[in-house]
Amino acid sequence: MEALSIWLDTRALGSDLHPKILSNSRIAVHELIPAPDALKTNNKWLFSLFAPLKVVFQTLSLYYTLGYRTPPANWLLVQNPPTIPTLIVAQAICFVRNTRLVIDWHNFGYSILALKLGPTHPLVRISRLLESGFSGTASAHLAVSNAMARVLKDSWGLTAPVLPLHDRPFPEFQPLDESQRIEFLGQCSETVSFLQDIRSGNMKLLVSSTSWTPDEDFSLLLDALVSYSELATSAQSRLPEILAIITGKGPQKEFFLSEIRALVDAGKLSSVHLQTAWLGVEDYAKLLASADLGVSLHMSSSGVDLPMKVVDMLGSGLPVIGWDRYESWPELVREGVNGCGFHSSQGLCAAMARLFGGEKQKLRDLRQGALLEGQRRWDDEWDPVAGKLLGLCA
């Protein structure tokens, strides 16, 4: 078997490549030339000016990498988004090299762009046309949800095979037994000072991973924690305190950190200890497996994608409560089985109070459901779908 070529912009990953990719002799990584920092901006109006220049640079970089640095292949598998210029260049390379294109759909690029510019912006409309137009000639499509597969077939009119392929947790995300849990909590800098309270049940560990972006409204969780703290400090309350650890990086992080400091100074988080962290994959996986409850704030720009963070939580045996106002949510989290949904800060607060207070058995039942859901792994999902499509599995 020839080497598998991967082309990527490592600066866009936000983390290092997985060691198993780097150590595999059959995988060749070709790093893309990154766009200049001068073309990066969070300003809406400057973005409209810089975006076309950035696209030109990325087009040349990607075409050079695919056309001159990698050997011809039978298949070209492209994850979408990003859409522009990836799909356009991929189609050109596939035409020149007689290669079959497979698009791995994780969301719609135009819907993410709409979060920054608004749904009626000309660049969003252009992105939508390019995304639908340049996806139509692909040989096959993989969709991250059944709902996305339906949209691609019914609304986009794709005639090539559209195969649902749900994300599954990586091997690092595994449940821990109680002794392993206590060992990790005693070593983790964010939890070690609260270990005795966690062990006694006087404190619950809540974890949320966020990209600190507009499609994840962190104010929902912050407002819910303020309301929970008010309940926990009220007369005759038996609610435990919460240690909430928020992981991730993103553009709105500093803003919310200042909000958190103001709430702490005002005494509105007296029963909540809120910390932020940036952890490696191994420690992050152990943190999830050690927590009592996971929170997803993902709202889905398209309504049909699914958050990988929830997949990781379930793979670690962690029950999840999350924003549920999008079509694909029930494909991943089954209400009352491995998690539950909310659609307001009041609903999130009520769920935390219910599971940490009066319905502790329900929380244990949800954990069992998460453990069961997490048993299905990548090979179980990949082999009968993508593996069969690519001729790698019978």
pLDDT digits (tens, 9 = 90+) for 337-390: 999 999 999 999 999 999 999 778 999 999 999 999 999 999 999 999 999 999
Closest CA to 83 of 61, 101, 63, 108: 108
Of 307, 257, 258, 313, whose CA–CA distance to 286 is shortest?
A: 313
In this structure, which amino acid lies at residue 314? Answer: L
Residue 297 is given by DSSP the state -
Between CA 256 and CA 210 the distance in angstroms is 12
The string of DSSP codes covering 224-281 is HHHHHHHHHTSTT--PPEEEEEEE---TTHHHHHHHHHHHHHTTTTTTEEEEEE---H
pLDDT in tens, 148-161: 999 999 999 999 99
Model pTM greater than 0.85? yes
Q: pLDDT tens, 73-117?
A: 899 999 999 898 999 999 999 999 999 999 999 999 999 999 988
Give the tens place of pLDDT for each residue, 56-75: 998 998 999 889 888 888 99
Give pLDDT, residue 221. Answer: 96
Helix, strand, coil shares, percent, the chain, to 5: 50, 15, 35
